[in-house]
Structure 1
């Protein structure tokens, strides 16, 4: 039962991220680098304020725990945290560029490839085990992504880069579990902010004055950065990287639906079949927990009838 909350956290994170394009598209006339600058800076300010005002005891507790760790483990945590921040920043910039300057479907394709790459990285780097049914689900996903790439060869390079960066982030943070996740995320974003700050004066455009930009930015920072990233990192405490990765398919399915029904992008029958196969793969990959819950409920009902 305890693991259900981690599944729910991962599901909620990717469900929220599925609507990310709604906040990005209205400000697509702004340079991708500008959006990245403001997203990072405002996220850091918001999270730092929350930690300093409401979570001082938590900070002290985590700092004391960190000081008590062996030197080798300290170095590992520092490396994983800082490396994760660089990978995450790269993923953000490339994704913003793809959605605003390639197309929404290219961004969606990236997060279709990402679960497969996450599973592969987790298998080789973390030695995570997968059941027979989970490998079947991965095979279905790989086949559906291959079908999609046949008509999207132009987009496949961008999709692979976006997918590989986020897959590496997930896998790296799976081993970074001792420190509070909200605090880790704050440190990562603070590190990214310090790195990109020197480039801001030279590479940023004029300071935006449109209220729409700041309204969209608020949504991006709170609803599409802090909340889902925290839920994602929290989920990694209780379930493995492969499972979190496969639940990522919720994101592109919603993204694909938005591309069709909201942004009116053209789709083919092949794409419809591919996305249907991906939905099947999610069910197959998580069949153990889905049908275990169903069977448990059935057993309870039968036991109550016997009484």
Structure 2
């Protein structure tokens, strides 16, 4: 029974994490007229404040201090911080400028990018069906590029920035948990974020405090909105098999896609539907291959995604 309870709680945590990530575009739209750069700057600063508070409450400063003495982890966390800043900025820009569907596409493509990075960087060998999934994904991007009239840059930037970010997190190893990792990354970025906020304030373009108390409250939640899904995800990952996490991970981009099409009315001409259908087919092939491989070997690594 303990395993059953752990699975149920893990499932709820995973749905909570990916569900919250799925509704991020709606949250960012509520922050209008704040621009992507200001939102990300506040997100960095407030995430650091929230994470430091969590470290204090959980009395995790000693293990965190030990991580600070590891030069390799510090360098990797700096690189990860830069990548997550790029990812956040592009995602917020897409969410607030009518590209929610394309942003969702980025997180659908991300598992394929993770597999490709394994080949290019880690020299891993792909199984035949993984090659099929990669090939279908390449065809999907070509179809979407024709449909958009240019490559889907927002989707590709999100997919590759988060894919390389995941690779760096993998290299950091299990010593660095979700809170410690986000603390390090936002600590590196906070000086730049403070400078950005100062420049916006001096130019009279800072929206914090100028759009009413509701806007202040929503913007002030940026740290919690950033950190809570990561904590839920970390809890789920400890309780659920990777294959289950691999299926649930598509909840976030599905919700984003549905929000973009059904609520925001973003256009979906036939060629875009075809491109998305090819991406979804590639994900089905990739996931089924991972499940089959697990049944044969008892181990599987399903690429995981997070959104925004």
TM-score normalised to the size of structure 2? 0.75
SS at match of 2:172: coil
Counterpart Cα distance in 2 of 1:127 and 1:237: 27
Instruction: State the Cα deviation string for residues 11-65 of structure 1 (Å, max 9, x = none).
Output: 764443222111111223222211112111211111111111x222x33135347
Moved more, 265-274 or 88-97: 265-274
Provide structure 1 residue ranges, at least 5 long, that are not aligned to the other structure: 68-73, 296-307
Sort the Cα spacing of 1:108 and 1:179 in 2 relative to 1 into closer, same or farther, 3 A: closer
Partner of 2:71: 75
Report whether the alignment pairs 1:101 with 2:103: no
| Contact persistence 2:261–2:267 (CA under 8 A) | yes
Partner of 2:213: 211
Sort the Cα spacing of 1:150 and 1:111 in 2 relative to 1 into closer, same or farther, 3 A: farther
Sort the Cα spacing of 1:211 and 1:127 in 2 relative to 1 into closer, same or farther, 3 A: farther
Aligned length: 284
TM-score normalised to the size of structure 1? 0.76
Partner of 2:65: 63
Structure 1 vs Structure 2 CA RMSD: 3.8
Instruction: State the Cα deviation string for residues 242-274 of structure 1 (Å, max 9, x = none).
Output: x98997654333222111211122212333333
Partner of 1:153: 149
Counterpart Cα distance in 2 of 1:85 and 1:233: 18
Provide structure 2 residue ranges, at least 5 long, that are not aligned to the other structure: 297-308
Sort the Cα spacing of 1:151 and 1:10 in 2 relative to 1 into closer, same or farther, 3 A: farther
Q: Could you tell me how far 1:175 is from its partner in structure 2? A: 0.9
| Contact persistence 2:42–2:219 (CA under 8 A) | yes
| Contact persistence 2:141–2:151 (CA under 8 A) | no
Moved more, 182-191 or 143-152: 143-152
Work out which of the residue numbers 86, 89, 98 in structure 2 matches 1:90: 86
Moved more, 151-160 or 183-192: 151-160
| Contact persistence 2:44–2:186 (CA under 8 A) | yes
If each structure's helix is expressed as a fraction of its own residues, which one has the higher value? 1
Matches within 5 A, 1:211-230: 211-217=213-219, 220-223=222-225, 225-230=226-231
Answer with 1 or 2: which has the greater Rg: 1
